[in-house]
A and B are shown apart, each in its own frame.
Chain A
Amino acid sequence: MRKIHGFHGGIHPPENKHQSVRTPIADAGIPPELVIPLLQHIGTPAGVVVTIGQHVLKGQVIAEAQGFVSVPKHAPTSGTIHAIEDRLIAHPSGHFAPCIVIIPDGKDEWIECRGTPDYQALDKLQLIDLIRNAGIAGMGGAGFPSSVKLSVKAGTHIETLIINGTECEPYITADDVLMRERADQIIEGAKILRHIISPRETLIGVEDNKPEGIAALRVAAEGSGIEIVEFPTKYPSGGEKQLIEILTGKQVPSGGLPSQVGVVCQNIGSTVAIYEAVVHGKPLISRVTTVTGNAVREPQNFQVLIGTPMRYLLQKAGYQAENNNRLIMGGPMMGFTVPSIDVPIVKTTNCVLAPTEAELPTPPPAQACIRCGMCAQACPVSLLPQQLFWFAQGKEFDKLEHHNLFDCIECGACSYVCPSTIPLVQYYRASKAEILQLRRDHEKAEASRIRFEARQQRLEQAEAEKEAKRAARKKAAEQRAQAMAGDSGEDPIQAAIERARAKRPPRRARGAARANSINWRKPWSRRRNAWTPPMPNLRRQKPRVAISWRPCKPAWTKPATSWRRRNRLWRSINRRTMTRRRSTPPRRQSREPWPSARRKPR
């Protein structure tokens, strides 16, 4: 028997799984319209390769992967491309995103697909390519492209391959029914994965609240060398990091990947999809989704085409809109509410939960945190949620990071146990987003600082070069002067200055000349409008210059310089002053100390 390691914390919310496992997986059929978002996974959206009006076959590529972390999209059934436009999608923020809309023709005509049942003949890279081309992304909820997960860096030895059949979220049974009904496909898929990454051991981890699924898997796995590991039910043991700790006792380093500790994880749903893709050549165009909650009459699991509007699916299960208070995609712990009933089912939709108000009541207003520490006891990653809450409220971002905010997996265990019903996870999400934004801003500022410094350096260098040239010229001039003065012993420049002095008018006359010229007011003067550019002191020249802000020129003053220069000067001064004056009219000085009579203090 394998040793089961525990993990810190965890909670036991009511499971509510029995409602949806009473009937086998039902086929949801073809809805009147399919909406396929281009981004259903983590990474870059796929690029459209079809045109409006084009007829497509079931399984045909309608959008191609763009970049490494991306997967293509396929037509879930045959029909015509009706539109390529922004539609409301299932996202916490309720935004519109580019989608391909297909009107099915009802024939459900497959494109020719070639399976490779003897996959052992293919090599690793070919298989990964096959999985990527089938558009498979993690179907447990996050939607990380499976091919990226499987392309382990060369030189990393993978010790353990884990198939995650935990499904710890309440209400969801999509993986459970897959285990019950398609255990052999899961085992085949696991074998394919084992062939790709050749680990030392292959495990399927299942919580002990799914005895039927475990039994079916055990039967199917007989003789395959794949071990089915059963462990006690506790939320959130289905988290990748938690499952790795339960099964291997290893912890994935903070900010690292499971492959760093020699582990690769795949979800049950993805494993089945990989089996379909490799053995039958069928891309991922449908998935098993649980439709449950007290606001549907017949909670059950559906095999549903990707892109099916939620409304269609819910109606199949007997949706009672009047009883439903919110519509959740995913489970009650980590799922998010959707903005409208018309959003499409995507590759990561493992559950559609339609609860009544009595079932999941609207939370009461939050009370004060009494620091009871129940959240710290429930936290699966050993954080101190109440401290984080404290710092998040005060926006103390450095302390948040010091308390490892970014290791929070947002499982919601802390909010679940909080006696004061504080939406803790929401605080962490907001703080994370703010910190990331700050980091981005900081990076930007840093880049521009570096750019600025480089420019400064460049300018300084140019200046220094100029200076050097100047110095060289000066030196050369001095040498030349020395050479010229060589015989007379007198400095020619000094001699020229002396000559000029001798020609100057006497002191009195010099003053008159200055009065005649323009008297500059210094731009840094402490006058009220200190922003005014240098301009002539007109007051002193009153008799001679018209005081007017219209473009004008002093008509009867005798120019000190040439008329041309003087006119140009005035034009420039008028231009500057006029524009400034117009934009900011002179402030009227009111007699009262307060701005206006209206705001007179009482």
Chain B
Amino acid sequence: MALLRLTSPHAHGPMSTQRVMLNVLLATVPGIVVLTHFFGFGTLVNILWGSLVAVGCEALALKLRRRPLGFYLKDCSALVTAFLLCIALPPYSPWWLIAIGIASAILMAKHLYGGLGYNPFNPAMVGYVILLISFPVQMTSWAPPRGLGEMPGLLDALRACFTPALYDGVTMATPLDLLNQNIASNSLLLEELWQQNPQFGLFAGVGWEWANVAFLAGGLWLLYQRIFTWHAPVAMLASLSLLAALFYDGGSSASGGSPLFHLLSGATMFGAFFIVTDPVTSTVSLRGRLIYGALIGALIYVIRVRGNYPDAVAFSVLIMNFAAPFIDFYTQPRTYGHGDKRGQK
């Protein structure tokens, strides 16, 4: 047998891209379960349909780019994009909305830039923002949480997705919507707002708080698996809560909401652990990740409280994606034997 001629290292660790992606998929499960519990089967149907479209789009793009299908589909990155986008979409979205979102995410945001690893913007968030700008009505109509209205079943969810013309669902403003409107109209104290609207729960929205806790749990598990480092999510959550604490002012009518409200509302935890940590589009140096995360947190707060959109994770992440290479350039770690460090006389 001829001897192989290979370069060092000859050993390889257990980690693979496929494993990274599968871990991320697995970590979204608790969040999906909670969302399904509170908002019905809408999210689940979203994900199923979205994954199909995503794999189809990925296959199409690979075919057009003359890449081997099996090898590239194996890395499951298209599935991750589909999961992240479909979790962010409102439940009971029509099939065409999901298809447009996924197609723009996979074909435009990912493959037009050269495929996995080359995209400067988070594909899921590009898809989300395209949908939000193009179809604002469908994108801001969230179903009421469990206990505040009739709970649609699995059949209803399928009908809502595939025959949207025949489905007539109930929608309700989310807590972040309510807060946003309250700040704009400057009418109610936070306490009154809480009492007048049944959507508010213990700290934040009914259902939303638990969804956020579930995504936090998934994120912590990923952290434990060393899929990413703590820097970006922690910096983002810290800066968001810091700004919220600064402008809370005890719950007046102009208050931006308590830190806990912001941490457990909307897509905060989902964004912190699943979107901000996207390795391809974020910074790579650890100091850079701190800056990157902190600025995203600040942008989220500003847009949530002062902007026209109730939630802001997608916009903030996309804006900071622009800045990532710049931050990277200025936050290179100090290499061994360079600069000021100890031991150099």
**Complexed CA–CA distance, A416 and B8 (Å):** 10
Of all chain B residues, the one with the shortest Cβ separation from A364 is: B16
- Interchain CB contact under 8 A, A419 and B11: no
B66 CB contacts on chain A under 8 angstroms: none
Q: A7-B336, A382-B333, A420-B17 known; 17 other A-B pairs, CB under 8 Å? A: A14-B11, A241-B337, A251-B337, A253-B344, A254-B335, A327-B3, A336-B8, A355-B10, A370-B20, A371-B280, A380-B336, A381-B336, A384-B284, A387-B284, A416-B11, A419-B16, A420-B117
Q: Is B4 an interface residue (CB 8 A)?
A: yes
B20-A13 in contact (CB<8A): no
Question: Contact between A339 and B75 (Cβ–Cβ < 8 Å)?
Answer: no
Partner of A367 from B11, B75, B280, B285 at Cβ < 8 Å: B75
Q: Which residue of the partner chain A has the closest CB to B227?
A: A372
* Complexed CA–CA distance, A326 and B116 (Å): 32
- Would B229 and A251 count as touching, CB distance under 8 A? no
Task: Say if the beta carbon of A199 comes within 8 Å of chain B.
Answer: no
- CB-based nearest B residue for A412: B9
User: Would you give 26 A-B contacts (Cβ < 8 Å), ordered by A?
Assistant: A8-B336, A11-B13, A170-B11, A250-B343, A251-B342, A254-B337, A255-B337, A256-B337, A332-B8, A332-B9, A336-B8, A337-B3, A362-B6, A363-B12, A369-B117, A371-B117, A372-B228, A376-B286, A381-B337, A383-B333, A383-B335, A387-B328, A407-B337, A417-B13, A417-B15, A419-B15
Decide if B306 is an interface residue (CB 8 Å cutoff).
no
Does B134 sit at the interface, judged by CB under 8 A?
no
Contact of B332 among A324, A335, A362, A403 (CB under 8 A): A403
Interfacial chain A residues near B17, Cβ < 8 Å: 367, 370, 419-420
**Contact present for B332 and A370 (CB under 8 Å):** no
Given contacts A250-B343, A412-B9, A425-B8, contact A339 B3 (CB under 8 A): yes
CB distance A407 to B336 under 8 Å? yes
| Inter-chain contacts of A255 with B (CB < 8 A) | 337
Q: How far is the CA of A409 from the CA of B1 in the complex (A)?
A: 33
Q: Are A365 and B16 in contact (CB under 8 A)?
A: no
- Cβ of A6 to closest chain B Cβ, rounded Å: 12
Q: Which residues of A contact B10 (CB under 8 A)?
A: 326, 328, 332-333, 335, 337, 353, 355, 360
Restricting to B8-31, which residues have a CB under 8 Å from any CB of A? 8-13, 15-17, 19-20
User: In the complex, which residues 115-168 of chain B have their Cβ closer than 8 Å to any Cβ of chain A?
Assistant: 115-118
Question: In residues 246-296 of chain A, which contact B (Cβ within 8 Å)?
Answer: 248-256, 260-261
Asked if A363 and B15 sit within 8 Å, CB to CB, the answer is no
- Chain A residues with Cβ below 8 Å from B7 are 92, 336-337, 423, 425-426, 429
Query: Does A340 contact B284, Cβ atoms closer than 8 Å?
Result: no
The reply to whether A322 and B1 form a contact with Cβ atoms under 8 Å apart is: yes
Residues of B within 8 A of A209 (CB): none
From known contacts A254-B335, A381-B335, A425-B8, infer whether A368 and B3 are also in contact, taking CB-CB under 8 Å: no
Rounded to whole Å, the gap between the CB of B303 and the closest CB of chain A is: 26
Most chain A CB within a 10 A radius of its CB, from B10, B16, B284, B285: B10
Given the complex, which residues of A lie within 8 Å of B330, measured CB to CB?
none
A338 touches B3 (CB 8 A): yes
Least Cβ distance of B244 to chain A in Å? Answer: 29
CB distance from B171 to the nearest CB of A (A): 37
Contacts known (A381-B336, A384-B333, A407-B336); A372 close to B342, Cβ less than 8 A: no
For window 81-118 of chain B, which residues contact chain A by CB distance below 8 Å?
115-118
**Chain A residues with Cβ under 8 A from B228's Cβ?**
372-373
Chain B contacts for A21, CB-based, 8 A:
none
Q: Does A30 contact B (CB under 8 A)?
A: no
Please encode chain A, from 13 to 33, with 1 for each CB lying within 8 Å of some chain B CB and 0 for all others.
110000000000000000000
Main secondary structure of the interface of A (DSSP, over half): loop
Check B8 against A334 for contact (C-beta < 8 Å).
yes
A362 & B4 in contact (Cβ 8 Å cutoff): yes
Nearest-neighbor residue (CB-CB) of A407 within chain B: B335
Interface residues of B in 306-336 (CB under 8 A from A): 328, 332-336
Residues of B within 8 A of A256 (CB): 337
Interface size class of chain A, counting residues whose CB lies under 8 Å from the partner chain: 35 or more
When C-beta atoms are compared, the residue in chain A nearest to B344 turns out to be A253
Whole-angstrom distance between the alpha carbons of A280 and B9 in the complex?
A: 39
Most chain-B Cβ atoms within 10 A of its Cβ — which of A11, A341, A368?
A368
B144 to chain A, nearest CB (A): 38
Q: Is the CB of A13 within 8 A of B13?
A: yes
Q: Which residues of A contact B333 (CB under 8 A)?
A: 8, 376, 382-384
Residues in B neighbouring A380, C-beta threshold 8 A: 336
Q: Identify the A interface with B (CB < 8 A).
A: 7-8, 11, 13-14, 92, 94, 170, 241, 245, 248-256, 260-261, 321-322, 324-328, 330, 332-341, 353, 355, 360-363, 365, 367-374, 376-377, 380-384, 386-387, 403-404, 407, 410, 412, 415-421, 423, 425-426, 429
Q: How far is the CA of A394 from the CA of B164 in the complex (A)?
A: 49
Let me know if B6 and A371 touch, CB within 8 A.
Answer: no
Chain A to chain B: the 3 pairs with minimum beta-carbon distance, closest first: A250-B343, A412-B9, A368-B117
B15 proximity list for chain A (CB < 8 A)? 374, 417-419
Decide if B345 touches A261 in the complex (CB within 8 Å): yes
- Chain B, Cβ-Cβ closest to A336: B8
Chain B residues closer than 8 Å to A417, beta-carbon distance:
13, 15
Chain A residues closer than 8 Å to B77, beta-carbon distance: 370
Q: Which residue of B lies closest to A5 (CB)?
A: B342
A86 to chain B, nearest CB (A): 20
- A369 CA to B90 CA in the complex, in Å? 32
Q: Looking at B1, B337, B338, which has the most chain A CB atoms within 10 Å of its CB? A: B337
Question: Are B338 and A373 closer than 8 Å at their CB atoms?
Answer: no
Residue of B nearest to A427 (CB): B7
Q: Tell whether B198 is near chain A: CB-to-CB under 8 Å.
A: no
Tell me the bound Cα distance from A119 to B228 in angstroms.
Answer: 56
**Does B338 lie within 8 Å of A254, measured CB to CB?**
yes
> With a CB–CB cut-off of 8 A, which chain B residues contact A338?
3
A227: min CB distance to chain B, Å: 19
- A419 contacts across to B, CB distance below 8 A: 15-17, 19-20
Chain A residues near B117: list those with CB within 8 A.
Answer: 368-371, 420
Contact A251/B343 with A362-B4, A387-B328, A404-B335 known, Cβ cut-off 8 Å:
yes
Report B222 CB to chain A, min CB distance, Å: 12
The yes or no answer to B279 lying at the interface (CB within 8 A) is yes
Residues of chain B with a CB closer than 8 A to A363's CB: 6, 12
- CB-based contact A325/B284 at 8 Å: no
- Taking the closest CB of chain A, its distance from the CB of B277, in whole angstroms, is 10
A250 to B345, CA, bound (A): 10
Chain A nearest CB: distance from B302 CB in Å? Answer: 27
A253 — which chain B residues lie within 8 A by C-beta?
A: 337-338, 344
Give the chain B neighbours of A404 by CB distance below 8 A. Answer: 335, 338
| Distance from A309 Cβ to chain B, minimum over Cβ atoms (Å) | 15
Set of chain B residues within 8 Å of A261, measured between Cβ atoms: 343-345
Q: Which residue of chain B has its CB nearest to the CB of A357?
A: B4
Q: Is the CB of B9 within 8 A of A334?
A: yes
Complex contact B285–A376 (CB within 8 A) = yes
With both chains docked as a complex, state the minimum distance between the C-beta of B245 and any C-beta of chain A, in angstroms: 30
Task: Give the docked Cα–Cα distance between A330 and B13 (Å).
Answer: 19
Q: Is the CB of A250 within 8 A of B284?
A: no
A333 touches B285 (CB 8 A): no
The winner among B117, B227, B280, B334 for most chain A CB atoms within 10 A is B117
Question: Shortest CB–CB separation between residue A387 and chain B, in angstroms?
Answer: 7
Q: How far is the CA of A252 from the CA of B341 in the complex (A)?
A: 10
Whether A333 touches B116, Cβ cut-off 8 Å, given contacts A326-B3, A373-B279, A419-B16, is: no
Complex CA gap A369/B335 in Å reads 22
Within 8 Å CB of A324, what residues of B?
Answer: 1, 3
Q: State which of A321, A367, A383, A415 has its C-beta within 8 Å of the C-beta of B9.
A: A415
Which of A251, A415, A426 meets B341, CB within 8 Å?
A251
